[in-house]
Amino acid sequence: MKVILNRVSKGHDGENLPPASLSYESGAVTLEVVETARRPTVLSLIATGRMAPDAGTVTVDDEFDPTALRTATAIVDAPDVSEPVADLKLTTVVREELMFAERPNSRRAALDALDELNAGEYADYETQNVPPMVRLRILAELAASRPGIEGVVLTSPDRHGGDPFDWWAVASDLALRGLAVLVIASEASVSVVRDVAAQFETDRLAELERQAAARRRAEDDARLAAERDETAEPAEPTTPSPATAAEPAATARATTTITTPTPTTTPSHTSAASDARATSAHQKDLA
């Protein structure tokens, strides 16, 4: 999946969101710097098809399809939109996220989900007291587990404090699993991970080229094999057809009939007549 935003803006003269252009796609992490408290949320809504821009366009796989975009994306922890209520217990938040993911959402299921994410010790914490890295990991993983999700938008993950490499670890892990990831954060936070992000993208593109080269080699090998099969001479038949098999037998019978010798003991008609005339002449002489 690839989502492209082309000079999108919101509000009069872009007061709610100045013109912005970006793209995010499967397997990659896109970093977008947006300052102020509300603009990151506005951009995340536009980038996922949940809000129409006042100017500019948003496409998913080269198509204008807000419904498909909404279905395939999730917004993680966006202020005023998808962030949990601060004083809710973490298990309550997890149960709600499990419901969105169409998974069992009993308290036992919530505790199991937290254990799977190595966060069971925070089950009874209020969400506002959960460490920023743990909070983001839980919310991102549960959002990504919803049916049909192909992309996630992490909205202002730096507002909770902590090391920028913590939210980068979450974002890059999601991308390595094939998701399209957009991170909207402040310049101060993005600048810390920019070099690492650039290397991640370089490695990603190199891997894509390696995979493409492997596919080309496989296609070339298959084509050459097909060409060899087409030019190969057909093998000689090993079993003669019934009509062909009958011909030697018929020839053999004809040859046998022709070459059968006449018995030597049977006198010919010419010899018998000669003997008869000789006997008659002898009788006349005796008379």
For residue 214, being part of any structural domain is answered with no
Distance between CA atoms of 260 and 76, rounded to whole angstroms? 105
CATH number at residue 166: 3.40.50.300
**pLDDT given for residue 279 in this prediction:** 46
For residue 176, being part of any structural domain is answered with yes
For residue 244, being part of any structural domain is answered with no
Tell me how far CA of residue 150 lies from CA of 62, 78, 177, 237, in angstroms: 16, 18, 10, 57
Neighbours of 93 (CB within 10 A): 21
Give the pLDDT means over successive 10-residue stretches in the chain (287 positions).
97 94 97 92 97 97 96 96 95 96 96 96 96 96 97 96 94 97 96 95 93 93 88 65 51 46 45 46 44
DSSP 100-116: HTTS--SHHHHHHHHHH
Number of independent structural domains in the chain: 1
**pLDDT given for residue 36 in this prediction:** 85
Identify the three-state secondary structure at position 79. Answer: coil
For residue 81, being part of any structural domain is answered with yes
The domain in which residue 143 lies consists of 2-37+49-208
**pLDDT given for residue 240 in this prediction:** 58
For residue 236, being part of any structural domain is answered with no
**pLDDT given for residue 276 in this prediction:** 44
Give 197's Cβ-side CA count (13 Å radius): 21
For residue 121, being part of any structural domain is answered with yes
Which of 111, 106, 108, 169 has its CA nearest to residue 140? 169
Quick check: 191 and 37 in contact, CB under 8 A? no
**pLDDT given for residue 268 in this prediction:** 44
The model's pTM: 0.77
For residue 15, being part of any structural domain is answered with yes
Beta-sheet strand order (sheet of 151-155): 29-33, 180-185, 151-155, 73-76
Which of 56, 60, 66, 49 has its CA nearest to residue 25? 60
For residue 82, being part of any structural domain is answered with yes
Q: Which residue has the tokens 């062909």?
A: 244
